[in-house]
Structure 1
Amino acid sequence: MIDRIDRRILSILQEDSTVPVAEIGRRVGLSTTPCWRRIQKLEEEGVIKRRVAILDARSVNVKVAAFISITTSQHNADWLAKFADVIREFPEVVEFYRMAGKVDYLLKVVVPDIEAYDAFYKRLISKIDISDVSTTFAMEEIKNTSQLPLNYVVTEKTREPAKE
């Protein structure tokens, strides 16, 4: 169970995972060793899945974000497994969701330009049969974060979401 100190550690790490453990400990009121143990425990429990560098899309020439809604007439485990395998082959797909509602799947794809999107689309439809594809392109990125809200974490003492 996560407590208030763990939440503060997670908040710091979500902001900048390169902050030294000693500095994190200072900010949360712990010495280095107990702070490091907490971070290791959060990693072992899978709360911290991995630590990554977040790149600037323009700097790596993937400035176009496309959101692709996919509908299929195939609703079975074999088709889904094949589709998931196909999608994993495409580095342009940075997010992939199975949806509830009118759309079956939603993809977020990043590419340099519309021509690259068209090439991606042609490769995709050559590998898997899909009923309907609808793409929308982002005109402007207004908010993009990897930081999850921590105010819903159930704390050890209250067993209810934190109210901070």
Structure 2
Amino acid sequence: MARNKKDSTLWAVDSKDLEILRKLQSDGRISNSALSDQVSLSETPCWRRWKKLEDEGYIEEYRTVLNRRKLGFGVVVFTQVSFASHDIELTNQFEQLMRELDWVQMCHCITGDVDYLLQLVARDVDEFSERITFLRRIPGVTSVQSHISVNEIKDNPSLPLG
């Protein structure tokens, strides 16, 4: 169940909503007409459900996935970043910087021996080296450990909706 942000009532996501979400997750450019056919609803109820899923935050955004190799980004790196202390000002600055760097595709604050896990892209090893040097020079960062991907087995942002 989802809590409606506007009036705090509960809204149950039913099997039809999940079906709509599955279809949209695989094709964000689908027309309402095609979607309504695929989920066996008429267009108006389908559109209403789609709109409600957007309004309730189940659908955050629509985007196009680009082919990184064709665009020259041949290196994918997973980088662990550690801080000596967890000074709130330094970590807030770090997190804001990570949001701004277009070559950082993912940044998670994690548990364990390291503080952050990043996924970044580079055109080649030289550019990767420049990016790691940049990360090492960020105030508060004490350790940067990287793992270069040699073979991408799966890259699928889709959620398992059953």
Q: Assess same fold via TM > 0.5.
A: yes
Question: Which residue of the partner structure matches residue 157 of structure 2?
Answer: 146
User: 1:72-151 residue pairs with structure 2 within 5 A?
Assistant: 72-151=83-162
AA of the residue aligned to 2:74: K
TM-score, normalising length from structure 1? 0.87
**Residue type of the alignment partner of 1:52:** R
Runs of 4+ aligned residues of structure 1 deviating over 6 Å after TM superposition are none
Whole-Å separation in 2 of the counterparts to 1:127 and 1:75: 14
Of 24, 40, 58 in structure 1, the residue corresponding to residue 51 of structure 2 is: 40
Pairs aligned (count): 151
Q: How far apart are residue 86 of structure 1 and its match?
A: 1.8
Q: Which runs of 5+ in 1 are unaligned?
A: 152-164
> Which residue does the alignment assign to 1:59?
70
Please list every run of 5 or more consecutive structure 2 residues that lacks an aligned counterpart in the other structure. Answer: 1-11
Q: Does the aligned pair in 2 maintain the 1:72–1:131 contact within 8 Å?
A: yes
| Residue-by-residue CA offset, 1:21-41 (whole Å, 9 max, x unaligned) | 111111111111111111111
Letter in 2 for 1:20: S
Check the 8 A contact 2:90/2:139 in 1, yes or no. no
Query: What secondary structure does 2:65 align onto?
Result: coil
- TM-score normalised by the chain length of structure 2: 0.88
The aligned residue for residue 13 of structure 1 is 24
CA contact (8 A) 1:14 1:146 kept: no
